[in-house]
Amino acid sequence: MVNKKKDALMKTLLKETVAVIHSAFEDSPRTVAMVNVDKSMSESEKLEFAFKKTNSIDSAWWRDEDVTPMFGNEFCRSTSIGDMVLIGTDKFKLNSDGWSKI
């Protein structure tokens, strides 16, 4: 019990949550995942971490412990060019040459 409380406290102190929003192939943007990132990461590191965590390589990305899926279907495509990540109140779009703040 003590370890669970300690782990939850440490997670709160050391992590923040960013939203991954799919919009590239959608009729309207929709949040598909909340990704836990280290607060100590730079903005660009958080963006890249969220991107990597929402791409299926060896297994379905929504099964990762750092990811909370926010979609109702059995599966969801990987994040790609045209999708977005929300860090706090700042939104970034993935372009073919990297991320741009929108």
pLDDT digits (tens, 9 = 90+) for 60-69: 999 999 999 9
- Whether 1 has a pLDDT exceeding 80, the answer reads no
Is the pLDDT reported for residue 54 higher than 70?
A: yes
Q: Are strands 15-22 and 84-87 parallel, antiparallel or unpaired?
A: antiparallel
Structure tokens at 73: 């279907």
> Among 20-24, 28-32, 47-51, 71-75, which stretch is predicted with the lowest mean pLDDT?
71-75
Please give the model's pTM, rounded to 2 decimal places. Answer: 0.86
Mean local confidence (pLDDT), 21-49: 96
| CA angle (21 as vertex; 38, 79 as ends), nearest 5 | 80
Dihedral of alpha carbons 44, 36, 19, 84, sign? positive
Q: Position of tokens 């009729």?
A: 27
The string of DSSP letters for 32-43 reads: EEEEEEETTS-H
